Amino acid sequence: MNTLERFLNYVKISTTSNSNSQTAPSTSCQKVLAKYLVNELKSIGVNDVFYDNEHCYVYALLKANVEAMPIGFISHLDTSPDALGENIKPIITNNYDGKDIKLNNDITLQTKVYPDLKNHIGKTLITSDGTTLLGADDKAGITEIMNMLEYFCQTNENHGDIYVCFSPDEEIGNSVKYFDLSKFNTSYAYTVDGSFVGEISYENFNAATAEIIIDGVSSHCGYAKGIMVNSLDLAHEIHSCIPNETPSNTEGYEGFYHLENQNGTVTKTTMSYLIRDFDKDNFEKRKNMIQEIVDRLNQKYNNCIHLKITDSYYNMKEKIKNDMHIVEIAKNSTKNVNVEPVITIARGGTDGAELSYKGILCPNLGTGGHNFHSIYEYIALEDMEKASEILIEIVKSYAKEKGKIKSKNK
């Protein structure tokens, strides 16, 4: 199956996740794609396939034909709930001319807003029709992993054990929650979930969430002096104490505080902050600062503020930095297909961050996609093909580590 056909088959299956759901997976539509992939894996010659029907994980193993270090690849089934993901109607623009692309009568993909478009002149661009996202995040990653597996199933190229997992609910932070490590027997893997082709990320934020509940005291407004404690006023006071280091004011290695949600009345207000920093010491300082603000205001307001800080994930660099061969192999494999590798930092989290702390070192690789989570998402067919070649080169590199030939599918 060619890359375009494979990708379009995936994006036409709606897989939007739902952060408000209490089920795992959060949406049943993800199971449709999972079952489709199970059948496709078997059809291309991967016989060792397991589907976790309860939690919607697809595991596969293409067994080695040489003695080599096993390697794994991971992509996610779901698409972001930030934009509509149903009834996706892809638009194919052949031999892109570098001009704006009209998606529909109201929506245009403009080069002045997205100047990277001009880096794709002459390529085949795939977009949505402007009413939905495209779904390249992360169906491009799935496509590229399937291309790689099909290549090794159809050739006699040497390869070690290749483990694959397609996971649910990555976009809502739950993709590793039910990940079965026993079905992914390798110490090294890559998430294929990044942006431009050639991108390699092995640094991400340390992340925590601060949940604040403020208990106020209500009374008649005309007789409230000395009685009323307006929890909304306290929320404003808390927020005024936090430095203006927000996502809109920071970049690169700069961390931030982000007031993600606030809801309240006079008697009760809840606030939720995201805390992010690459540096572990600064990360701890940020958490301590919020704790100190709450402690200080509790002395003033009779302990009516309740704070719970929960760590979410950590910077995978702390695990990978002592075993950098996995990054070097990715860099060299990228160069081998005439793409310049670019090391970036992930101003967010990845499955690889959590897995790196579970014993599987797991940098992130670019898929070729752009403008994820939006109706302006696009990807070039040629970039997906290059990303597939990079995965193939990575497998070949690991196969060279040991050269004793074994029978196919031992």
- The DSSP-derived string for 348-379 is S--HHHHHHTTT-B--EEE-SEESTTSTT-EE
- Tokens 């930030």 sit on residue: 82
Question: Can you tell me the mean pLDDT for 190-214?
Answer: 96
**Of residues 290, 326, 81, the one with CA closest to residue 188:** 326
- The strand order across the sheet containing 305-313 reads 256-264, 268-277, 206-215, 305-313
Mean pLDDT value across residues 8-29: 95
Q: Which residue has the higher pLDDT, 405 or 313?
A: 313
404, pLDDT greater than 60: no
Q: Which two structure tokens, joined as six digits, stand for 49?
A: 């396939």
Average pLDDT over residues 93-120: 96
Residues designated as active site: 78, 170
End-to-end distance of the chain based on CA atoms, in angstroms?
A: 26
pLDDT (tens digit, 9 = 90+) per residue, 164-187? 999 999 998 889 999 999 999 999
**CA-CA distance, 47 to 177, in Å (whole number)?**
26
Please tell me the total number of residues recorded for the chain in this structure.
410
Residue 338 has phi, psi (to 5 degrees) of 65, 40
How far apart, in whole angstroms, are the C-alpha atoms of residue 117 and residue 111? 6
Angle ∠(333,337,340) on CA atoms, nearest 5:
80
β-bridge partners, 264: 269
Tokens 């807003």 -> residue? 113
Do 280 and 286 touch, CB atoms closer than 8 A? no
**In this structure, are strands 256-264 and 342-346 parallel, antiparallel, or unpaired?**
unpaired
Per-residue pLDDT tens for 128-150? 999 999 999 999 999 999 999 99
Is residue 238 over pLDDT 60?
A: yes
Position 143 scores a pLDDT of 98
Confidence of residue 405 (pLDDT cuts 50, 70, 90): very low
Report how far residue 4's alpha carbon sits from residue 187's, in angstroms, rounded to the nearest whole number.
Answer: 32
* pLDDT at position 67 over 50: yes
Are the C-beta atoms of residues 181 and 359 closer than 8 Å to each other? yes
| Mean per-residue pLDDT, 343-358 | 90
Please name each of the domains of the chain with its CATH number: 3-204+316-399 (3.40.630.10), 206-312 (3.30.70.360)
pLDDT of residue 240: 97
Mean pLDDT of all residues in 368-372: 96
Task: Report how far residue 228's alpha carbon sits from residue 220's, in angstroms, rounded to the nearest whole number.
Answer: 8
**Percentage of the chain with pLDDT > 90?**
92
**pLDDT at residue 179, as a whole number:** 96
Residue among 157, 155, 154, 5 nearest 66 (CA): 157
The single residue listed with the structure tokens 């070729």 is 368
pLDDT at 410 over 80: no
Decide if pLDDT at 403 tops 50.
no
Angle between helices 3-11 and 29-44 (to 10 degrees): 150
- pTM for this structure? 0.89
User: What is the rounded distance in angstroms from the CA atom of residue 289 to the CA atom of residue 284?
Assistant: 9
Q: Is the pLDDT of residue 408 over 80?
A: no
175's tokens: 């993709």
Question: Rounded to an integer, what distance in angstroms lies between the CA atom of residue 67 and that of residue 83?
Answer: 45
CB burial readout 67-90, b (16+ within 10 A) else e: ebbbbbbbbbbbbbbebebeebeb
d(C-alpha 167, C-alpha 179), whole Å: 8
Tell me the sheet residues that pair with 71.
162
Q: Which two tokens stand for residue 397?
A: 């590199």
**pLDDT the model gives residue 348:** 81
Q: Which two tokens stand for residue 386?
A: 């290059």
CA distances 169 to 130, 175, 221, 387, Å, are: 24, 5, 46, 23
Strand partners, 405: 66
Q: What is the pLDDT of residues 263-302, one digit of tens each?
A: 999 999 999 999 999 999 999 999 999 999 999 999 999 9
Q: Quote the pLDDT of residue 402.
A: 60
- From residue 306, how far is each of 234, 253, 293, 310 by CA, in Å? 12, 30, 12, 13
